[in-house]
Structure 1
Amino acid sequence: MPYKIHELVEGFRAWQNDRNRQETGTEITRLVSARSVRALGGLRIKEYLCGRKANHSEMTIQEIKRLRETENKVEFKEAKRDFSFAGGKHTDPADRRKCVLGYVVALANEGGGMLVFGVKESKQLPHEIVGTTFSEGKIGELEDEIYKRLNVRVKIEELFENDKRVLVFHIPPRPIGSTLKFEGVPLMRIGDSLRVMSDAEVFRILSERAPDFSATICEGLTFADLDPEAIALMKSGYAKKQENPAFETIPDMQVLRDLELTENEKYNYAALILLGSRQALRKYLPNAEVIIEYRLDYSMIPYTARKEFQESLFTVMDKIWAYVNQPASNPLLHVRHKFTIYDIPAFNEDVIREAVLNAIGHRMWNDQSSVVIKQYPDSINIINAGGFPSGVTKDNILTVRSQPRNKRVMEVLQKTGQVERSGQGVDKMYYICLMEGKPLPDYSLTDDYQVELCLQAKIVDEAFYIFLKEIQFNRKDKLNVFDLLTLDKVRQGISIDLLDESIERLQRENLIKSQSSADKKYVLGDLYYEITKQPAYIKEYRLRDLQIVAGCFEKAKEISMKEFVDAFENQLTREQIRYLISKMEVDSLISKSGSGRWTIYFVNGQIDVRQNILEQFTNILLQL
């Protein structure tokens, strides 16, 4: 007689309680008789216990059995007990490639697909399920490690046939215009092997350019699907940008044609994104949505508050800002200087608007995810699908002229005064963050599949904020964003990779200085140190350099040159560090023993490491 699901589940729960045991879903499944499993029709008890039915999986066992490797972009491996993750102990590159990472790279380069473990491929369908124990109980760790190695978000799914486990890796396609690589080489499949892609294949991929989705006709979209309020806002912005109020009286259809949102009585996706009603967006582009989640702490999983916005871009921006700009979640920060108190919002309106418009305007629309804004008391993270546009990286984002991913949308936003420089606007965000004394916009979490921008609220240096405010106040030719970046690097003690043009200008105006023309270690101008009430130099040493060296000796009594280099990472060249340490020896601040790579440095014998080392350095120098 067939067992009912709830009877089996309750029976196993009672069995567990009686023995005070915690069994995994796989172990429980093994305890069920073959007859019971057949009676369940293949339903996994593990999934039932988790409140999830088997048919909620992206694939079913029966579907897996009937897939063909070539037609369905799938790679079958038995992998009964183990399978190499990253090449193992093999030395031959051809053998090293036959691993999880190698197949993920190859399948992604072919446009995405599935890697399936626990299945024996057969020319005659269906394939045989043999089961696998690979990475059992460690699926989350496996996904994390793949992402860490390749920057690819692979979803891994477990399926079961009786007690036989099948592992399915769902691999996304590579980004347009770029290849994925394993150990430095792009791979593709050929038969049972993985081969290096030819130069011609790589060149073809690198030459790809994604079509402008926003210029594509949205079949079925009509004028009645557009929001009249959004059209009015667009016309108002157009008139203001062109400095011609008469534009507001131009018929709607003429404006839509002028902005290339309609052609031959058909409307494109740009018209839908910019002007579409909520009903039209839900019907034709349901992922055109912005979700804001507020949490009090980074460790919180449930959100404190959440709001979903799904309406035209022209009407939604004010509502998004109003939600972010609530007094409790966007408080004023106060900076006092002499008799003046400056009020600075935690999150600047222009920065947030630019960031959100960029996220919507540059996102990949074939990805079904929404734009997500995660707000915390001290930061905001804005996430959109699709990595940077082709040619853009974290390092060149301020200098490269990229092709917008949704060019038609960004052109309209530019013509109506919503964004700058064809929609990039990153320089504006950098400029404002620098002027407010805040950290730079942080794109470090961005990968090939999504852009994540972090904006921090904290003012990291109040004196620098006042310094910039005072030097910019009376200037007709304001310092540009590259000048401000140079000043910020000098503030941090960085004296390498500085822009020569900015250095010359800032030195000429006494906004930065150095000990001599030959000395390439800079400090900010005198005004900054008047505000901080600290000296720039102690004798011939930058105060910051002495602070870093003293900090090294506060952590350890003996320091190697490598440890000094690490402490000054990205601030000074190796030669500058060697010269600094050598000079400190001459001035009896530190001593050394050994030679070559075995040289060890320690503070002068008259310095008590239990007391403030920086103060003792200062006292010795002032007595010279």
Structure 2
Amino acid sequence: MVEDTMFSGESKNIEYKVSLPDKSEKYMKTIVAFANTQGGKLIVGVDDKTHQIVGVENDVLFQLMDGIANAVSDSCVPQIIPDIEPQTVDGKTVIVVSVEAGKNRPYYLKSKGKDNGTYIRVAGTSRQAFPEKIKELEMEGARISWDELTCVGYPVSEEATEKLCQDIEKFRKKAGMSEHSVKKEQLINWKILKQSEGQLLATNAYALLTSDYFSFSKTQCAVFKGTDRAMFLDKREFTGPIYTQIEEAVDFVLRNIRLGATIDGLVRKEKYELPPEAIREMIINAHCHRNLLDESCIQVAVYDDRLEVTSPGGLYNGLTYEEVMNGHSKIRNKGIANIFSQMGLVEAWGSGIKRILNAAEEYGLPKPRFQEFDNMFRVELFRVNPITDQANQATNQANQDLERLDQVEDENVLSEKEIEILNLVRMQPSITQKEMANALDWNLASVKYYITKLKEKNYLKRQGSSQKGKWVILTKRD
């Protein structure tokens, strides 16, 4: 089974080389990217286009393995120690270089330095990491949680502290938890407040739990007509303490889905078309596990056929999709997670996905879908809509597979390379063409060619100068 996975095609965790490139940097990017993401295997002796097992000649096998080990040792900082071994497949020998998800992040190419030599895996390619991603990797390597850092300049007021303590008590009571008084001493123990030279200092978590201080800390909610984002029916933006955002977002969804009734004996019982506990869990998870270094906000979208919750940031610190689906959890925001636990918003670590799946199954709904990208995580809970026929459902499925934060790609019009350009622009509008070439490992002429094609198709335009301007993705085309 493992062998089938290794040789069934390239992926986020698998890359093929028919032979070793003359310049080790070309495959060292992959080694670094694996260490910075979820680990992976570089397999030498397999054609990356046909997946044909070409093999490595036995008389140079161990020489190549030693060369790989030396190149990794000489090129990568901090030190990466891969497992390098030969393996026989279909009578031919290949070299399998296995790299674990690293704990001393970020890893980078010594020759390029940290700013230009840090790579991550995106789908099946190794891409140069943007500054905000490098910053998160640094915090992962230092075992630091951003929400526990001091929020410089943010005041600690008696009024805000008292309100937070009272709200924690109210949530505990509502959740049926044991009641006890919450004071600022508990907030200090939970690392929401800090003491320094006789003063109380606010953490980023304290600011998130008591105000709308950070502009990115908001929940955008919308109802769309149909199954895409072409037409708004209603939209709201909730700010303030993140636990109030959760309540308001859940209420928004419940107001905008159907409420029916069933008769149990002589008792009439009302029932939403989607399980409220799953809705709540989706929105809580989005806030608890979002990347707070990404200035995007959480999005909650209600379509005719589904509820969709999107949070900034992919999976954290080497956690794999398979591990998440099996109930494993790594805490990105320790302060927020602790307070959510104290409030009864989080019952048991790693159980959120299972509760969503179980709630959908009990309601007789299609299995929810979980999508993980390098810069976001999305959960879709499907509505049962008798109006939607099978043809429409098939079309929607195809559209959803292509969708990123905003659905501007059109499979019938854009090539894969054009979509790669758009994805880079979406993540960093100010990126230069030279930076695109480095990130995609293309030559500059190729980047210019595809940008020209996107401009001709009216998908992309440039605002400002080549050095200080930015790219704009066009969502409406003539």
1:262 aligned partner: 193
1:56 aligned partner: none
Q: Distance in 1 between matches of 2:104 and 2:315?
A: 16
Please list, as runs of the form range in 1=range in 2, the aligned pairs for 1:211-610 lying within 5 A after superposition. 211-224=144-157, 226=160, 229-238=163-172, 243-245=177-179, 247-248=180-181, 250=182, 252-264=183-195, 265-274=200-209, 276-278=210-212, 281=213, 285-326=214-255, 329-333=256-260, 343-390=270-317, 392-422=319-349, 424-443=351-370, 445-458=371-384
Backbone CA RMSD of aligned residues: 4.1
| Post-superposition CA distance 1:393-429 (Å, at most 9, x none) | 4434343432211122112111221111137422222
1:565 aligned partner: none
Change (3 A) 1:400 1:429: closer
Q: Distance in 1 between matches of 2:265 and 2:190?
A: 51
Q: Distance in 2 between matches of 1:242 and 1:342?
A: 23
Q: Distance in 2 between matches of 1:373 and 1:424?
A: 21
Change (3 A) 1:435 1:230: same
Q: Distance in 2 between matches of 1:108 and 1:219?
A: 37
Q: Secondary structure at the match of 2:324?
A: coil
Which residue of 81, 102, 111 corresponds with 1:205? 102
Q: Distance in 2 between matches of 1:372 and 1:395?
A: 24
Please list, as runs of the form range in 1=range in 2, the aligned pairs for 1:33-72 lying within 5 A after superposition. none
| Post-superposition CA distance 1:567-602 (Å, at most 9, x none) | xxxxxxxxxxxxxxxxxxxxxxxxxxxxxxxxxxxx
Aligned residues of 2:147 and 2:205 also touching (Cα < 8 A): yes
**Seq. identity, %:** 16
Change (3 A) 1:207 1:458: farther
Which residue of 24, 29, 35 corresponds with 1:106? 29
Q: Distance in 2 between matches of 1:262 and 1:457?
A: 42
Q: Distance in 2 between matches of 1:239 and 1:361?
A: 21
- Give, as a single letter, the amino acid of the residue that structure 2 aligns with 1:266: L
1:591 aligned partner: none
Structure 1 residue 271: deviation in Å? 1.6
TM-score, normalization by structure 1: 0.40
Q: Which has the higher contact order (CA 8 A, sep 6+)?
A: 2
Structure 1 residue 303: deviation in Å? 2.7
Structure 1: gaps spanning 5 or more residues? 1-89, 111-173, 461-624
Structure 2: gaps spanning 5 or more residues? 1-16, 49-67, 83-98, 106-139, 387-478
Structure 1 residue 335: deviation in Å? 6.8
Change (3 A) 1:438 1:352: same
Aligned residues of 1:438 and 1:456 also touching (Cα < 8 A): yes
TM-score, normalization by structure 2: 0.51
Change (3 A) 1:449 1:214: same
Structure 1 residue 299: deviation in Å? 3.6
| Post-superposition CA distance 1:521-558 (Å, at most 9, x none) | xxxxxxxxxxxxxxxxxxxxxxxxxxxxxxxxxxxxxx
Which of the pair has more CA radius of gyration? 1
Q: Distance in 2 between matches of 1:340 and 1:401?
A: 41
Q: Secondary structure at the match of 2:346?
A: coil
Structure 1 residue 378: deviation in Å? 2.4
- Give, as a single letter, the amino acid of the residue that structure 1 aligns with 2:288: G
Q: Secondary structure at the match of 1:383?
A: strand
